[in-house]
Amino acid sequence: MLAVKGGGEKAFGMHSPDAIWRIQEQLRERGVKYCIGAYVDIHGIPKAKVVPLDHLEQMANGSERYTGYALDGLGQAPHDDEISSLPDLGHIIQLPWEPKVAWMPADNIFQGKPYALNTRVA
C-alpha cells in the first residue's frame, strides 16, 4: 500500500481539493497515469471504474456511477437513481505488474449517503 500523505478524510467520501491534488502529485511522481476504484459485489466479483489520474478529484467526489438495477444484488428498482462509487484514498495500491495504475477500494453511496448494500460495510 502506498503511504500517500494528505489523504485523510474529513467525512465520508469528502476530501479537500488540496488533499486530492497532493495525492495526485505523489502518484504522478511514481509514474501513475490511471486510477481504479473497485468494489466487490455480493457474488465476490469486483466491479470497477478506470479513470485518468487527472480525473481523480471528480472520482473522489462521486462522478463514477452505476445503474444499480442492472447489477445483480444491489437491491434497486428500475426507477431508482444511480449509485456512485467513491474511492478510499487512504488505501491506494500501485499495481506492481502495471505501475502506471493505482488501485483503491471503493464504497458505494446513494444520494450522498453510504449505500446499505455496500460489501465493505455489510
Torsion on CA atoms 56, 33, 29, 21, rounded to nearest 10: -10
Looking at per-residue pLDDT, the higher value among 113 and 35 belongs to 35
Please report, rounded to a whole number, the percentage of residues in the chain having pLDDT higher than 70.
84
Residue 121 in domain: no
Instruction: Compute the average pLDDT of residues 63-84.
Output: 77
Residue 7 in domain: no
Residue 3 in domain: no
Instruction: Say what the pTM is.
Output: 0.82
pLDDT, one tens digit per residue, over 36-45 is 999 888 888 8
**Range with the lowest mean pLDDT among 32-36, 82-86, 105-109?**
82-86
Task: Please state the domain count of the chain.
Answer: 1
What lies within 8 Å, CB to CB, of 13 at 6+ separation is 60, 61, 62, 86, 107, 109
Query: What angle is formed at CA 55 by the lines to CA 32 and CA 20, rounded to 5 degrees?
Result: 75
pLDDT, one tens digit per residue, over 3-53 is 555 444 444 556 789 999 999 999 999 999 999 999 888 888 888 999 999
Q: Which amino acid is at 84?
A: S
CATH number of the domain encompassing residue 75: 3.10.20.70
Q: What domain range is 21 assigned to?
A: 17-114
Residue 8 in domain: no
Residue 38 in domain: yes
What lies within 8 Å, CB to CB, of 44 at 6+ separation is none
Residue 61 in domain: yes
Residue 12 in domain: no
Residue 110 in domain: yes
* Cell numbers representing residue 30 in the block: 511514481
Helix (H) or strand (E) holding 25: helix 17-29
